[in-house]
Structure 1
Amino acid sequence: MSETRSTPAPATGGPRPRLTRGRTLALCALPVVLLFVVALCAPLPYSLAQPGETANVLGKHGGKPVISVEGVSERGGDKGRLLSVTIAATQPEATVRLPDVARAWFRDDRAVMPREAVYPGGGDTEDAERHISQEMKESQDKAVTAALRHLHRSPDDVHVKLRLGDVGGPSAGLFFTLGIIDKLDGNGTGAGGLTGGHTVAGTGTIDASGKVGAVGGVPLKTQAARRDGATYFLVPRSQCGEARAQLPSGLRLVPVSTLKGALDALGEIRTDGDVPHC
């Protein structure tokens, strides 16, 4: 006779196997690891910036005069330089990730800035270029108006043309204004220009009434200025603290809030007088 055997049913209700300590820690750590990997790979809403070019508004840029005037004779002859300074930033659509931010954080010549602060309004590179070109055009118009008002000249008699290549934004406004005044009137005494032979750099917006406004990237701009030989840096008064944060050795900060204040400061620089400082 054949014998039929049945397979014993598994026991139920007994104690279940317990997780080991190592397995428990691994399961707990997994979400943290996954989150860290996502953070490393995820694009962030930032731009990376570094010191950019400088341009002597009394000289040439790209082979052409930065400032030229028609209708009157240019004074010229200033032996010094007025350097407008810039920052160079990643393009709007550039991917910036956590490792990029971490590397920039520990470098004095790099800055992490909100993308919206660098490219207001968002958009791609084409949108950004259109926006900063418009800002530059408005800044140039205000600079011309402020300079001619200061000199009591009419735009009907003097035509000013400004060129600064592919540089955009409003932060060259103050130095455009100073450059126009230097070209048309020198230091106002009939002998010599505004700089007294010094290399003076700086930044700041300007409105038609001559009020100087704040700009972005000031610590990086001070580095560009010193790199290119400036010994004085005109900075919007409200940004003195920001400018001091990473001030290069050998560069003196000169606070300004109006066009008249900037011209007065240049007068003190020319004569080795009591130059204001932050």
Structure 2
Amino acid sequence: MASGLGALVIGLAAFTLPSAYLTESPGPVFNTIGEIQESPVISVHGADTHETEGSLSLTTVYVNGAPTSTVRVFDALRGWIAPSVDLTPHELVYPSGTTREEVQQRNQAAMASSQELALAAALDHLDVDYTVELSVMQFTEEAVAAGTDEILIPGDQMLAAEGEEITGLEGLRQAVNEAAGEPIELTVVRDGQPVEVEVPTYQEADGEYYVGIMLATEFDFPVEVDIRLEDVGGPSAGLMFALGLVDTMTEESLTGGVNWAGTGTVDPDGTVGPIGGVAQKTVGARNEGAEHFLAPRPNCDELEGRLPGGIEVYGVEDVDQAVAILEAVRDNDEDFLAGLQPCGR
């Protein structure tokens, strides 16, 4: 009897131990063309602005687990059962030794960057000129081990990858992934002259390929934008910020009063990149009343069999396509919508 009771106590205690997993669950949404505490989320200065209607909401995911919080064994088991919660081994997301402060700083920096990239993408869609430069800052340990720091030097300005102009980070990431571990040909400006170099690429545990170059991005915009949104981090709001800016600077409403939500990184040329937690974000959007959802086309496979009822999901590759879909739904253009490739169905 005593041994059985002891085993029960030990078993119950095991449920309270920290697990080796992170959980992702649906988070709140924020309307980029709405207000927070009676102040607009987006304010544009130096350009004509117009009244908006409906919603273009960015979506978020609650990520729980070390180093920002603790997911205990019981929480992990509960998440494993819940259809809208995903479990991910901690080491696949955060390198060993990552601190809570480092995660917060990284997320804040990514959010600030996504706002700049969104403005660039919005201006590109609206055919408003601006300038951008990407230049080498420093290298990761993996890049140094591969000898990249002997090929590139801080200050090199990126021009092209495999002969294609680089307009932003997403375009460079795409080119590196297409290299699939082979060296990639980059064209840079050094001391005022174009130089072509071959740079090694390597694969990380997440399956993505990298060159290990940390870049500085410098924009010169003809308008100023203030985005009021606190306690939200990461780069995945870029697409919805861009659409909110386009809607704000366009005379006719993009939504026609319809409630939209979405997610995706964005590059200055409007390219929409994949994100994490897309299944959770569609659930969170549906729960907040969104009727339609924009997802990065590369994420559509993750939604197979996981789409919640009551919301229509569209896969997009760039801002131009996203705007075209918004307008087609607004105008009830059934022929256009019928020709779209399904996303998650």
- TM class by smaller structure: 0.7 to 0.9
Query: For residue 88 of structure 1, what is the aligned residue in structure 2?
Result: 62
User: CA-atom RMSD, angstroms?
Assistant: 2.5
Query: For residue 249 of structure 2, what is the aligned residue in structure 1?
Result: 184
Query: For residue 103 of structure 2, what is the aligned residue in structure 1?
Result: 128
* Relative contact order higher in (CA < 8 Å, ≥ 6 apart): 2
Computing the radius of gyration from Cα coordinates, the structure with the larger value is 1
Check 1:238–1:156 CA distance in 2 against 1; reply closer, same or farther (3 A cut): closer
1:88, distance to aligned residue in structure 2 (A): 1.1
Quick one: which of 192, 217, 222 aligns to 1:157? 222
Check 1:176–1:272 CA distance in 2 against 1; reply closer, same or farther (3 A cut): same
User: Is 1:197 paired with 2:278?
Assistant: no
1:177, distance to aligned residue in structure 2 (A): 0.4
Q: Distance in 1 between matches of 2:29 and 2:298?
A: 22
1:109-142 Cα offsets, whole Å, 9 max, x none, are 3221333565578623222110100111111111
1:46 partner amino acid: Y
Bigger shift: residues 169-178 or 57-66: 57-66
Q: Distance in 1 between matches of 2:223 and 2:96?
A: 35
Query: For residue 141 of structure 1, what is the aligned residue in structure 2?
Result: 116
Normalized against structure 2, the TM-score is what? 0.64
The answer to whether the 8 A contact 1:222-1:243 is kept is: no
Query: For residue 229 of structure 1, what is the aligned residue in structure 2?
Result: 289
Check 1:156–1:247 CA distance in 2 against 1; reply closer, same or farther (3 A cut): closer
Percent identity (aligned): 38
1:180, distance to aligned residue in structure 2 (A): 0.6
Query: For residue 175 of structure 2, what is the aligned residue in structure 1?
Result: none
Query: For residue 73 of structure 1, what is the aligned residue in structure 2?
Result: 48
1:161, distance to aligned residue in structure 2 (A): 1.5
1:5-52 Cα offsets, whole Å, 9 max, x none, are xxxxxxxxxxxxxxxxxxxxx9xxxxxx9x989975653332122211
The answer to whether the 8 A contact 1:62-1:165 is kept is: no
1:160 partner amino acid: V
Check 1:219–1:270 CA distance in 2 against 1; reply closer, same or farther (3 A cut): same
Quick one: which of 250, 261, 266 aligns to 2:326? 266
Unaligned runs of 5+ in 2: 131-219
Alignment of 1:110-129 (within 5 A): 110-115=85-90, 123-129=98-104
SS at match of 2:249: helix
1:54 partner amino acid: V
1:103, distance to aligned residue in structure 2 (A): 1.2
Bigger strand fraction: 2
1:129 partner amino acid: Q
1:160, distance to aligned residue in structure 2 (A): 1.2
1:62, distance to aligned residue in structure 2 (A): 4.0
SS at match of 1:255: strand
The answer to whether the 8 A contact 2:122-2:242 is kept is: yes
1:84, distance to aligned residue in structure 2 (A): 0.6
Query: For residue 207 of structure 1, what is the aligned residue in structure 2?
Result: 267
1:202, distance to aligned residue in structure 2 (A): 0.7
Bigger shift: residues 112-121 or 143-152: 112-121
Check 1:117–1:136 CA distance in 2 against 1; reply closer, same or farther (3 A cut): farther
The answer to whether the 8 A contact 1:219-1:245 is kept is: no
Check 1:96–1:207 CA distance in 2 against 1; reply closer, same or farther (3 A cut): same
